[in-house]
Structure 1
Amino acid sequence: MEDGRRKLSYADLNARTNSLANSLAELGLKKGDNVAVLLGNRVEHVEVLFALAKSGLTGLPIDPKWRGREISAAIKFFDVAAVILESSVMPSLADALSRVEFHGPIVQVDGGTGLGGGDFRAYGYEQLIARENPREPEIEVGSTDVFLIMITSGTTGFPKGCLSTHEKYVLSCLNHALGGRGSSSEDIELLVSPLCFNSGRSSALGHLFWGGTVILRERFDPVDVLETIQRDRVTYIALAPVAADRLLNAAAVREYDTSSLRHLRKAGSPFHPRTVDGLIQFVTPNIYQSYASTDAGSVSLLLPEDQIRKRGSSGKLIWAAESMIMNDAGEPLPTGSVGEIVCRGPLVCAGYYKNPEANQTSFRNGWFLTGDLGYFDEDGYLYVVGRKKNVIKSGSVSIFPDEIQDVLQAYPKVNEVAVVGVPHREWGEAVVAVISLASGQQASEQEMIEHCRSQLAPYKAPKAVRFLKDLPHTELGKIATEEIRTRFRDTFAESCPGPHDAAATDREREKNR
């Protein structure tokens, strides 16, 4: 494993991990304590994860970009007993500690020995490693003990904490290693997805479980990715759709040899068909897409040979997942019918930390309710059509945003699109499309609406189109739909017809027939 700063063999990894685990115990941490981890893509991040696993401590990975207010809320809610962080996070942690009472150890991985001044128990990471206590920790850790509390992205209120047991995480990592064509000790992964998120973390640990090599990168740079693939003969990489598009838009994509890649996996949202075509033409035909979430774990996998034949699908169920489509009454729906995707199996989270309401509403008769809508075709392939909460109720009909997004995304002038429902006095909700155009392109609102009307029933066409230079994204590379919905929720606040404007209302109804 290497990150550009340090290279580590498996023997070194084990010895350093043991030293760290034993040193954490000497600091007074005990089995079951929650340890906040605020680290980027660096070898110490992986060392910390293994040390926590060996010592029976529970990790709480936190995005190092979080600010003091967010960190203080996490420390308080998740009962954090210790913090391990890098120097870039120190100003935010200092702000957090001014907001919450905290007396646990603080370990800094790079430079110094922690916070200066104040009543803090601060330690330097390498000082703990240098105690050289490489014996295996004498802590009994069970398969049902909680290994990680994984913070969901959260769209409203404070994010939830998914409980991942040791059994679940081992199986999750093995699933990454075994998925598709399988992994071996000859595999080399280039990890550009953040280790603080589950997709990057389980991918990296999965390759280490199998004896492979992991190259860590702090951020995505198209040219660096291409150079690294060619130089190190990288065999595996996972890319968010926005990263894949940046790779394809880089002029250098045609200049590098990427033939070593035998596994290019999507991270986050599905690839658009146009992206799949570009990756096949210029990068590799060995593309894998899946349906997965922090809460549900991996559910399905779409193999390279199905990327064209089953376009839009998330693939067939993996070996560790059961799934079906359920209606609101909890009854299974037949093939081809759209309903909520529910799943069960060892990869599903064990529940939510200090959140009995979420534990009650997220499970029904042993099935986890994903909140996603989808269907299975006659061949057993899963198709996801959108989020249950994102369905737009316009008049008396339900409109799926993903259907409209697919139509607009296929338009040559469009780079990215998000479709949301916003309040409308007459219709309850109305469809708004928010679009970023491809470089050098121009388009009008009416042009986009007419394109949708040519492909969809008139009532599905957007009532308004707004243009942004770039759409906002989450840290996982997904379009930040909630942020967009909030920004444009007042689109029809003044213009929509009220009860006094019957003629305008009648014209609107006639247009949408």
Structure 2
Amino acid sequence: MLNHGIGTWVNRRAQRMREDSAIAFRDRRIGYEELDERILRLADALRTRGVRAGDRVAYLGNNHPSFLESLFATTMLGAIFVPLNTRLAPPEIEFAVDNSGATTLIFQDVLLDLARAGTWSTSAQRRICVGGDDIPGVEDYDAVVASGADEYVDVPVTLDDAALILYTSGTTGYPKGAVLTHGNLTWNTFNALVDYGIGSGERVLLISPMFHVASLGMGALPILLQGGTVILHERFDPGEVLHAIQSEQVTMLSGVPTTYQLIEEHPDWATTDLSSLRHLTCGGSSMPKRMLEAYEQRGLHFSCGYGMTETSPGATAMPPHMSMEKMGSSGLKQFFTDVKIVGPEGGMLPPGDVGEILVSGPNVISEYWRRPEATAEAIVDGWLHTGDLGYLDEDGYLFIVDRLKDMIISGGENIYSAEVEGAIMQIPEISAVALIGVPDPKWGEVPLAVATLDEGAHLTAADVIARLDGRLAKYKIPRDVVFVDELPRTASGKIRKGDLREQYAR
């Protein structure tokens, strides 16, 4: 084979395990042979429609078999897959499509309105709809698949070639497209296999959307490489999760603290058979002691980790047997990844000293799409500057302390303050604003805006929230807006967000 990328994984696996279940979705079971055939046909159909190596194919949809089929078919051709966050507002979708230069869009029928509003005037003029037909100018997905030949298309692809572009919230108001290569995803998969002990026959339940790299990179790809089964849920429902764990004999579950809390608080928690579970992974923020204890009482141990889109996404992982002893830690550096802590001058700091977290390894991206200045700022001498503050203890375990970039993590979603502040500052009556995260029992933290008004202006919190509706994803819109006469500032004029957190984040 000339193709050494991830696009060949299902084809290679199907030669070994044709009848074994690859995907479980609703009442449907898709074996490796059937999945391989559909990928081959879709790849040929896309090629017939003009998709070539280096072209971008965007996907707008929830967890669905067509997501994985589109991913593997696109990368089999040497083209680049661009999964879009379905929670984004139309202008945000439009930016990602146009910035990536995607010429083909595959979307689900349930998202037709969002697809129309966010993509109809973009570069993606070839449109394919999953589950819908009779839409002017749009092809039916199943008909497209059926039109392709069931033949392997061997296109030269190296591990250095781009496989995905994933858009991250921008610290300067514009999202950045993180370019993940085939090598990045392959090495991240190796990290997951080694550090989580993923073997053949695993059954992972994906409750987080695959347009997030954690669900894709730490769940779907490692399991499919090993010949396991990926069980897809379109949306998170704690009762359905518990039912699936027992009925589908789930062995692996990934989530954020909020999802695990909602599962534990569900009435069926105490009566559900959880004995099949072997791997629980958690990211986004540290797991509270109460939750660790609740799961350990059921014989379950967490492997909490730290990472980001730019690390594909793993950087560190906690050995499950150490979750209580090293509570609050994000674990050890992953097997094929390096982590260090540096001070303001760039020198490496000793254990216990707080500094910026830097990550290096074959799973770390080498560029942002068409953003050389952002690339040069973030990646220096092969080390990714995460913008997060933390320290390593004497045993090498990482502890996260703060975020240099003022990022808010709400229910596992990243919210960058500058992006939201920029949108709020477009409201004429607002003279200044600062966004901070405040504690929330359900989501971990939610955004709060603290703002000042122009002299004589009158505005309510509801007014601000209403004007942001449709311009930003709902999870980015402040839960509340507090108006003050003056924001605290340093001598140089910078807003002292620490003061605001002390006052409001309690």
TM-score interval, normalised by the smaller of the two chains: 0.7 to 0.9
Q: Which residue pairs with 2:485 in the alignment?
A: 493
Of 146, 167, 176, which residue of structure 2 is paired with 1:151? 167
Q: Is the 8 A contact 1:168 1:348 kept in 2?
A: yes
Q: Is the 8 A contact 2:406 2:436 kept in 1?
A: no
Of 295, 301, 311, which residue of structure 1 is paired with 2:317? 301
Q: Is the 8 A contact 2:256 2:283 kept in 1?
A: yes
Report the Cα distance in structure 2 between the residues aligned to 1:227 and 1:66, rounded to whole angstroms. Answer: 30
Report the Cα distance in structure 1 between the residues aligned to 2:71 and 2:232, rounded to whole angstroms. Answer: 15
Q: Which residue pairs with 1:24 in the alignment?
A: 46
> What amino acid sits opposite 2:46 in the alignment?
L
Of 60, 66, 71, which residue of structure 1 is paired with 2:82? 60
RMSD over aligned Cα atoms: 3.1
* 1:428-466 C-alpha deviation (Å, 9 max, x unpaired): x9998834469xxxxxxxxxxxxxxxxxxxxxxxxxxxx
Q: Which runs of 5+ in 1 are unaligned?
A: 392-400, 403-417, 423-428, 439-478, 498-513
> What amino acid sits opposite 2:41 in the alignment?
S
Q: Is the 8 A contact 1:301 1:316 kept in 2?
A: yes
> What amino acid sits opposite 2:132 in the alignment?
G
* 1:76-105 C-alpha deviation (Å, 9 max, x unpaired): 2111111011102211222234544x4631
Q: Is the 8 A contact 1:314 1:383 kept in 2?
A: yes
Mark the CA change 1:179 to 1:7 in structure 2 (over 3 Å): closer, same or farther: same
Q: Which residue pairs with 1:14 in the alignment?
A: 36
Q: Is the 8 A contact 2:43 2:148 kept in 1?
A: no
Of 352, 363, 368, which residue of structure 2 is paired with 1:347? 363
Secondary structure (helix, strand or coil) at the match of 2:186 reads helix
Of 322, 334, 357, which residue of structure 1 is paired with 2:338? 322
- Deviation of 1:194 after TM superposition, in Å, equals 0.4
> What amino acid sits opposite 2:32 in the alignment?
Y
Mark the CA change 1:71 to 1:361 in structure 2 (over 3 Å): closer, same or farther: same
Report the Cα distance in structure 2 between the residues aligned to 1:212 and 1:431, rounded to whole angstroms. Answer: 43
Q: Is the 8 A contact 1:65 1:89 kept in 2?
A: no
Q: Is the 8 A contact 2:78 2:163 kept in 1?
A: yes
> What amino acid sits opposite 1:286 in the alignment?
H
TM-score, normalised relative to structure 2:
0.77
Of 80, 105, 108, which residue of structure 1 is paired with 2:126? 105
* 1:244-301 C-alpha deviation (Å, 9 max, x unpaired): 111111121001110111101113222222221222224x422111111111331111
- Please, which moves more after superposition, 207-216 or 290-299? 290-299
For residues 242-321 of structure 1, what are the structure 2 equivalents within 5 Å?
Answer: 242-282=258-298, 284-296=299-311, 297-321=313-337
Q: Is the 8 A contact 1:66 1:92 kept in 2?
A: no
Q: Is the 8 A contact 2:301 2:323 kept in 1?
A: no
Q: Which residue pairs with 1:445 in the alignment?
A: none
For residues 110-509 of structure 1, what are the structure 2 equivalents within 5 Å?
Answer: 110-112=131-133, 115-116=135-136, 120=137, 122-154=138-170, 156-180=172-196, 182-202=197-217, 203-282=219-298, 284-296=299-311, 297-390=313-406, 434-436=438-440, 484=478, 487-488=480-481, 490=482, 492-493=484-485
> Aligned pair 1:89/2:111, yes or no?
yes
**Structure ID, larger Rg:** 1
- Please, which moves more after superposition, 90-99 or 71-80? 90-99
Mark the CA change 1:267 to 1:374 in structure 2 (over 3 Å): closer, same or farther: closer
Count of residue correspondences? 420
- Deviation of 1:49 after TM superposition, in Å, equals 0.8
TM-score, normalised relative to structure 1:
0.76
* 1:30-89 C-alpha deviation (Å, 9 max, x unpaired): 110011111211111111111111111101100123343222222221111110111022
- Deviation of 1:129 after TM superposition, in Å, equals 1.6
* 1:107-161 C-alpha deviation (Å, 9 max, x unpaired): 1111215x32xxx4x3211112212511111311111110000111345512111
- Deviation of 1:188 after TM superposition, in Å, equals 0.9
- Deviation of 1:308 after TM superposition, in Å, equals 1.0
Identity rate of aligned residues, in percent? 30
Secondary structure (helix, strand or coil) at the match of 1:258 reads coil
Mark the CA change 1:193 to 1:364 in structure 2 (over 3 Å): closer, same or farther: same
Q: Is the 8 A contact 2:378 2:384 kept in 1?
A: yes
Secondary structure (helix, strand or coil) at the match of 2:159 reads coil
> What amino acid sits opposite 2:112 in the alignment?
M
Mark the CA change 1:492 to 1:27 in structure 2 (over 3 Å): closer, same or farther: same
Q: Is the 8 A contact 1:69 1:99 kept in 2?
A: no
Report the Cα distance in structure 1 between the residues aligned to 2:341 and 2:282, rounded to whole angstroms. Answer: 24
